[in-house]
Structures are given as structure tokens and as C-alpha cells.
Amino acid sequence: MHNVLFVASEGVPFIKTGGLADVVGALPKYIDKRYYDVRVVLPKYTCMKKEEADKLKYLSNFYVNINNHDEYVGIFEAVEEGVHYYFIDNEHYFSGYGPYGNDVVFEIEKFAFFCKAALSILPVIDFRPEIIHCHDWQTGLIPVYLKERFQGGEFYRGIKSIMTIHNLKFQGVWDLKTVQRITGLPDYYFTPDKLEHYKDGNLLKGGLVFADAITTVSKSYAEEIKTEFYGENLYGILRARSNDLRGIVNGLDYDIFNPETDKYITDNYNAINFRKEKIKNKRALQKQLNLPVDDKVMMIGIVSRLTDQKGFDLISYLLDEICQDHLQIVVLGTGEDRYENMFRHFAWKYPDKISANIYYSEELSHRIYASSDAFLVPSLFEPCGLSQLMALRYGTLPIVRETGGLKDTVEPYNRFENTGTGFSFANYNAHEMMACIRYAEQIYYDKKREWNKMIDRAMAADFSWKESAKHYQDMYDWLIG
């Protein structure tokens, strides 16, 4: 039996702000329990929902030194679907309305403390992992501390680490002296081949330099981040470590996202009866959102953070023109003011065409996946993306830009070979996106049989965690050797 420890700043069902939490919550469940004991360490946030917080049991406590003072470390545990979770308790760092704040220095200190505490609790909980699997910059110091101060002890010797990049844009960067003071690392760790980066301290870079292996969340993104355009100033180190870097596409929890059993949608359906049943969801959603109830009109769904990264500058450029087509567009999400206001404006200007829902609702998101005919994801970059996987699962055909995980998971329609599970365009260009949407409209309106065959293929595609978990297990085996 091999021991693996996940360390992350969020995980379903305890705390979630984005896709990272879905991965941390789902992947440990799917790794083969006959060969691996996978456990998870998370911060104990005071903003956790009460029903989740009530599952936690107190284990022990001690103190660690961070930023030249001693801080309390409480240890709690819970078991969720057969997986052991440990929680690090410290109200100074983990209270507040959400898991993350806007004070960068405090965030860096908070997660430096978290990394040190996560390593320090291991002898107390009597769990010695062979591999510590770290997620994003918040855990970037674990591979560093593991090599710097924990290797001396018998208990820690030989523990390997993996750094997984979910989004390279976020790195944990601040001025060198402050990062050095907070982390307590010696001078020689702050050189350009270690944690120093353009004269600042960079926590993610520390993880990338010291980890034994690096992964990211799709094959294409693993290639893209070695280039200047996608590399967020870290492409040099990623090129240097390309032999240790692999891309493993995220899975989707097929128990939660299942049109046959989904409790949020009005009419359940599956790959066999979708031709009759899926449409009922569309009618119900049109009624709910005060759009004209019309079986024949093509409905495009968008569930997203409304930011540049997600391609909303392309949409804003052509939204008026798109609204001249026979379409309905349903938007759900929050983000930059200009995009929130753009959708509000167009929903006012074209009330029969656009429904702008500028908030977030798990229930409405499931209804949009189930009701729409197509789903638009024109991202500038997309490490993996889960929304297109959800759309495929619900038989809603994705229209995507060919980048990162979107390129790896959506097969573009080919009318000559009758293949494909969606539509895609290559260049980050508004008119190219528009042509792709119009091509999808043409197939939807003029070749309904082809469209339905595409839905068959989309719903048959397997992006469950079972597949991805196998690739992670291969990597663990390779590291343990």
C-alpha cells in the first residue's frame, strides 16, 4: 500500500471557489484504494458551511514558527466518501468571509504557514506519505520546505513531491525581502535558479524548482505553458523541466453531473431518450427566464466567470451582430463590471434573445447545461476547463476556441467523416468565433439528424475521473519507482 497526501487550499464538499476544489474533492475518490491510501489536508476556514464544519472532529494541537513568531496549529479530521481529510485550524489566518483575501502579503504569510503546518502535522496524525501532491501556488513552499528543513528528520527522508498547476496566472509573488522574512528560508534560496523571479520572491516558482514532478491539467496546456505567450514569465523553468512535466486532463464527477439523475433539472434524460426529453428542459428554462417558449430556436448557454481570460472581449465585440440571428443566449456568472453591464444592457435591448443572470447558482447552471443546444467557451487560454465537459455530458454541443483543455476534449465537427462532438475555431479572433457560431447554427437548423448524431457522440465521450485517475497512478508508480 502506497501513501499519498494531497495538500490544497480548497476542496469539495468543504470549500469551493473554482475548478481546483472539484479536482481535489473528486480525484482521491477515484484512485485505486487497493494500492493507494490517499488523504487530503485543507485549511479549516471559518466560512465553511455549518453542515460541513459539523463533520470535523478535533485531534490535537501544537505551535509552529512563521514570520518570527509562534502560531497555533489545530488539527481536525473528517472522513468523506471513504477519504480521510485533515484540517489545519488557525483563526488568525483562516477566518473571514471567503477563503482568499486581497492583501497579498497576508495571503503569502497565510499559505507559508499552511505549508509548514501541513508538513508538521504528519508525525502527529501518524501518516507518512511517500508522495505529497501539491496544488497551485498556495502549496508551492511544500517542496521547498521538504528539501530545506524537513529532510533531516528520519520521518521525512525520501518523501517525494508533485506540483500541479491548475492556472499558471496565479503565482504568489511579492518583494524578495518580505517573502524571505515570512518564509524564514536562508539567503541562498533567493537566487534566480530558485525562488527569486524578476527581483521578487515567487512561491509557485519555488514549487516548480524543488518538486520531483510537475503536472498540469491538460496535454495541450502542458505544451502551451512552455511558450512565452502562455508561460506567464515562467516558461523558462517549465522548458528546463519539460522531462518532468506532464499534462493529465481533469475528469468530471459523473455521479454529480448526470442528466439521468440530476435533481436540479426539470426533466431527466439519457443518451437514448434525449431526442424526446431534453427539449422539455429547454421549455421550462425559457418559461423560468421569461424568454419566448420556442422549441425550434437555437439556445446557446454561457456559464462562466465574466473575464478577459474567458474570451468575453470577443463576445462584446460582436454581441449586437450575434443578436441579429435567430438565437437565444442564456448567461450565468459574475466578473468584470464591463462584461456584467454589457450583458445587462443587451438583455434590456433584446429581451427576447438574451437572459443575463449576473450571479451564481448551482441549480441554474445545471439547468443551462441541460436546456441549451450549444455552449460557448471562446477562452484566450484554458488550462483544462470543466464547463465544456459538463456540456458534453448533457448533450449540449460546445463551441470552443482551440486552446488548452478545450482543444483536448472537444473534437471539431467534420461533415465529410461524420465525426466530432462540437465546433471549434483556432485563432483568438472575434470574426472567426462568429463564423464558428454561424456554422453551428447552419448544422442545427438545416441538418438536424447530423446534429443529433453529434449529441450521441458527445454523450458517449468518457471524461470521468476513472480515466484521469489511471494517469495519476502511473505517475505515482513512476515516482515511487
> Above pLDDT 70, what percent of the chain?
100
d(CA 365, CA 396): 13
Q: What is the pLDDT of residues 381-397, one digit of tens each?
A: 999 999 999 999 999 99
Nearest partner of 218 among 407, 431, 411, judged by Cα: 407
Helix (H, G, I), strand (E, B) or coil at 418: coil
pLDDT at 234: 98
Residues 6+ apart with CB under 8 A from 258: 393
Q: Checking phi first, is residue 235 left (phi over 0); if not, alpha (psi -120 to 50) or beta? A: alpha
pLDDT at 153: 80
Per-residue pLDDT band for 210 (boundaries 50, 70, 90) equals very high
How remote is the C-alpha of 300 from its chain's centroid? 22
Q: What is the pLDDT of residues 440-455, one digit of tens each?
A: 999 999 999 999 999 9
pLDDT at 19: 84
Element (DSSP H or E) covering residue 22: helix 19-30
pTM: 0.93
User: Per-residue pLDDT averaged across 84-106, rounded?
Assistant: 96
Following DSSP, what letter does each residue of 264-303 receive, concatenated? TSSS---TTTHHHHHHHHHHHHHHHTT----SSSEEEEEE
Query: Would the pLDDT of 476 be above 90?
Result: yes
- Cβ burial, residue 12 (10 Å; 0-12/13-18/19+): middle
Cell of residue 186, nine digits: 536562508
Helix (H, G, I), strand (E, B) or coil at 134: strand
- As a 3-state breakdown, the chain gives helix, strand, coil percent values, each rounded to 5, of 40, 20, 35
pLDDT at 161: 98
Nearest partner of 40 among 60, 62, 52, 23, judged by Cα: 23
Residues 6+ apart with CB under 8 A from 156: 119, 122, 146, 150
Domains by residue range for the chain, with CATH: 2-251+466-480 (3.40.50.2000), 274-463 (3.40.50.2000)
Q: Are 262 and 370 in contact (CB under 8 A)?
A: yes
Return the number of other C-beta atoms located less than 10 Å from residue 391's C-beta: 30
- Please, how many CA atoms are within 13 Å of residue 59, restricted to the half-sphere of its CB? 20
Q: What is the pLDDT of residues 11-27, one digit of tens each?
A: 999 999 888 999 999 99
Q: What is the pLDDT of residues 289-330, one digit of tens each?
A: 999 999 999 999 999 999 999 999 999 999 999 999 999 999
Query: Number of helices (H) and strands (E), helices first, in the chain?
Result: 19, 18
pLDDT at 411: 98
Cell of residue 285, nine digits: 428554462
Q: Are 303 and 374 in contact (CB under 8 A)?
A: no
Tell me the CA distances in angstroms from 108 to 95, 104, 135, 146, 253, one per residue in order: 15, 6, 15, 18, 31
Nearest partner of 331 among 292, 360, 290, judged by Cα: 360
Q: Are 78 and 49 in contact (CB under 8 A)?
A: no
Tell me the CA distances in angstroms from 481 to 2, 130, 477, one per residue in order: 11, 11, 6
- Cβ burial, residue 197 (10 Å; 0-12/13-18/19+): buried
User: Per-residue pLDDT averaged across 122-137, rounded?
Assistant: 97
